[in-house]
Amino acid sequence: MADLIRYGAETREIATVTPGSREITQFNPAETLTHVAKLEGIIAMARRLQDWPLLEQAIDAEIEEQRQYVGWWKTEGPGANHGGDRSKSADAHAWSEKRAKAEHGIDHVVVSRWDDWTDEEKVEAYRERVRLGPRRVAQLEPTPNRVTPNSGENEWFTPAQYIEAAREVMGGIDLDPATHEVAQRTVQAAQYFTAADNGLAQPWHGRVWLNPPYEAGLIDKFVAKLLAEHSAARVTEGVLLTNNCTDTRWFHSAAYQARLLCFTLGRIRFVGRDGALGEAPLQGQTFFYFGPNAAQFGLIFGAFGFIR
């Protein structure tokens, strides 16, 4: 029986997801991954539209598809135990991870992640992470027609919800190299540098949150420092927040090195020194992600805009 996913007045048949309906010998892994991709698109749409019934249905369908793929991987795919006889891996019917990567674009890291978050004991926490996105958007989306001229003020701080999203992706914040004492009430980095410390002259390390000063002549230097420290593996993971300056060299350099980018829907209303939200700035913003947890970044920051 086909599961039906609703969009507005339409009803589209997108995947066969009835639990237990497939024989493993009839399983088509490529078809399942196509279903997963479609469902991810529907989940993203449902989050934007705040269509809660559609979101719940799509989440459940995606979880079932992921479980079926994990089951195939373990029993017939690259994770199958061929009795310890490695010579059987040359069998035309045997699946290697290299073949799965070539044909499906997927590897054991993704499969392991699916296996983990679709586990019966953890699946509700996964559902809640996906549901959290629309609530973040509803709380943070600024009024689009209210903008503030560029006043030259350089001390604006990131709202707490974005900081918490970065913390959730990276598991913590070891360093904020361009900050203010007031901002640290929210960021709570293990180590931080203010303007008086000159973060550009300091060593960077670990998991970094960077909302650099947007002043010309400073932002490009802070971005270059982050890219260099990450290339040297001293920065193991990082989230960078900047304006959408897609015409600048530093933006292109950061986009080239980042694993994923999130272009915000609407403009972020930053926080002043008095703790009050300012008006929306003249430009939208971009989050850049550097590190090994790209899927987690896409899942969490997808609530704020589109991921590329």
pLDDT tens column, 175-196: 999 998 888 988 999 999 999 9
Q: Which of the pair, 2 or 307, is modelled with greater confidence?
A: 307
User: Is 202 found in the same domain as 119?
Assistant: no
Name the band, by pLDDT with cuts 50, 70 and 90, for residue 146. very low
State the Cα torsion 103-107-110-116 to the nearest 10°.
120
User: Is 196 found in the same domain as 126?
Assistant: no
Query: Does residue 45 contact residue 78 with C-beta atoms inside 8 Å?
Result: no
User: Is 148 found in the same domain as 33?
Assistant: no
State what percent of residues in the chain have pLDDT above 70. Answer: 74
User: Is 126 found in the same domain as 59?
Assistant: yes
Name the band, by pLDDT with cuts 50, 70 and 90, for residue 144. very low
Report the residue count for the chain. 308
CA dist., res. 141 & res. 266, Å (int): 6
User: Is 200 found in the same domain as 258?
Assistant: yes
User: Is 190 found in the same domain as 288?
Assistant: yes
Which domain covers residue 203, as residue numbers? 141-307
User: Is 225 found in the same domain as 79?
Assistant: no
User: Is 299 found in the same domain as 158?
Assistant: yes
User: Is 151 found in the same domain as 298?
Assistant: yes
- Read off the pLDDT of each residue in 271-297 and give the average, rounded to a whole number: 79
Name the pTM for this structure: 0.56
| pLDDT for res 101 | 79
Q: Which two tokens stand for residue 12?
A: 């589209």
Domain boundary among 103, 119, 139: 139
Q: Which two tokens stand for residue 226?
A: 């982050």
User: Is 231 found in the same domain as 85?
Assistant: no
| Residue with the two structure tokens 């991954």 | 33
User: Is 133 found in the same domain as 16?
Assistant: yes
pLDDT digits (tens, 9 = 90+) for 63-111: 898 888 888 888 888 887 554 444 444 444 467 888 887 777 777 888 8
Max Cα-Cα span within the chain: 70
Count CB neighbours of 93 within 10 A.
6
Domain boundary among 95, 124, 139: 139
Number of domains present in the structure of the chain: 2
